[in-house]
Structure 1
């Protein structure tokens, strides 16, 4: 991915009333809450499992591998930061063991709040964790759902592999790009029709 220069996308501030949320227990992990990044009013919402590294060891802003792969793919299909808003099932990065099922259930309330306020035209779930949490079905996976659109909670939704899986297994890159082409075609068709 060295031929592509990823950039820091603007981060949306966490709502004041949730800044110190401790309901799920991830606040004890020492990571800060990340509400989302990109364009908060974008028509396409991208859902990941949790925030990745955002600062390096010297606390300087850092573009992690997940964001590099995501930005490279979306850039190649003609989507820009204005078209996309990235958010997470968990709003904090876990740094140690935790009760995954209970924590995801609690944190899904934040996502429901975002969906209600943002009303995206399309949701793209990346990776099995995000897919299973959003579809509310622990038995499904990306492999069986990718390549088509689904109606989930009243939202047009599609899925793709997690960007880190794509980085670790380069043979998935063409499938990842194929799924983003599907997203872009759908999006640009909607623009033409409106």
Structure 2
């Protein structure tokens, strides 16, 4: 073996130990080979020494080949010469220096989440002890509702009045008697295939202690109770008695009139909803009873079409 070939073998062993291989060849001596050519194994019997064992005189020469200069990259890089080099900042210091970020996320109503899984008994207890809005301060009794828990008809009013607040049952005053007559016209009776409820469960009163319509905020606070009642009932049709009940079920512009919502079949999910006048209004405007009767006929038609489909 010649001195040159021995030097080549030592260089190959050195690079192999460093995990660099294959054997590096100086650019000026590079020979183009086919990719299919497999390097020959090193000759057997050649002693192997670790890199640290090689004396400086035997270290393989290293030739640095400079990459060609790209003038466009050179010019672009020079444009950043005056930009200060960023100094690394510890993570804690960076977090402290970062401006506070406010995330506009709608708060989760834990009470509404709990209401959504209540049974009838749990719902009754929750309404009796509810403090979700200021109406609880002046109530004598909260009024959940009354009727058949498997009713196909659901009638929703706006809120308890003075008599309902005393007795704990909806529609028991003069308006309630008129509603009973409306039920009989549909061949229904209170508690038989019918359920009576309100948009709010506590009596709304004004500064003088008189009945008033509930506000939008009060209806919104009570809405989870009404939603749970509907889920438990699975009615075939819902009759909204008055604007407050209609808006609680359907949403929409608070300035809308009941007359605009009448004579149409709306939907609460898949359940048909018919809007008509509240019995208390009909006591003041008896001439509109004929209009209300047409609304009830529309509800009866919706019940006949969808009632058998109710689960």
TM range (shorter): 0.7 to 0.9
Could you tell me which residue of structure 1 aligns to residue 236 of structure 2? Answer: 121
Residue 133 of structure 1 is aligned with which of 229, 244, 248?
248
Is 1:91 the counterpart of 2:201 in the alignment?
A: yes
SS where residue 247 of structure 2 aligns?
Answer: helix
The structural deviation recorded for 1:15 is 1.9
Determine the structure 2 residue equivalent to 1:165. Answer: 281
Distance in 2 of aligned mates of 1:42 and 1:77: 14
Q: Which has the higher contact order (CA 8 A, sep 6+)?
A: 1
Name 1:9's counterpart in structure 2. Answer: none
When structure 1 is superposed on structure 2, of 92-101 and 64-73 the one drifting more is 92-101
Distance of 2:293 and 2:130 partners within structure 1: 36
Q: RMSD of aligned C-alpha atoms?
A: 2.8
* TM-score normalised by length of structure 1: 0.80
> Which structure: larger Rg?
2
- 2:153 is the counterpart of 1:44: yes
* Deviates further, 109-118 or 183-192: 183-192
**Which of 229, 253, 261 does residue 145 from structure 1 map onto?**
261
Secondary structure of 1:157's counterpart equals strand
4+ runs deviating over 4 angstroms? 188-194
Deviations 1:32-77 (A, max 9, x none): 11110122221111111002343698x7x99312111111122123
Alignment of 1:8-23 (within 5 A): 15-23=124-132
- Structure number with the higher strand fraction is 1
Q: 2:33 matched to which residue of 1?
A: none
Write out aligned runs for 1:6-85 (5 A).
Answer: 15-54=124-163, 63-81=172-190, 82-85=192-195
- Classify the secondary structure of the residue corresponding to 1:54: helix
Q: Is the Cα contact below 8 Å between 2:153 and 2:237 reproduced in 1?
A: yes
Going from structure 1 to structure 2, the CA distance change for 1:189 and 1:46 (only over 3 Å counts) comes to: same
Aligned residues: 181
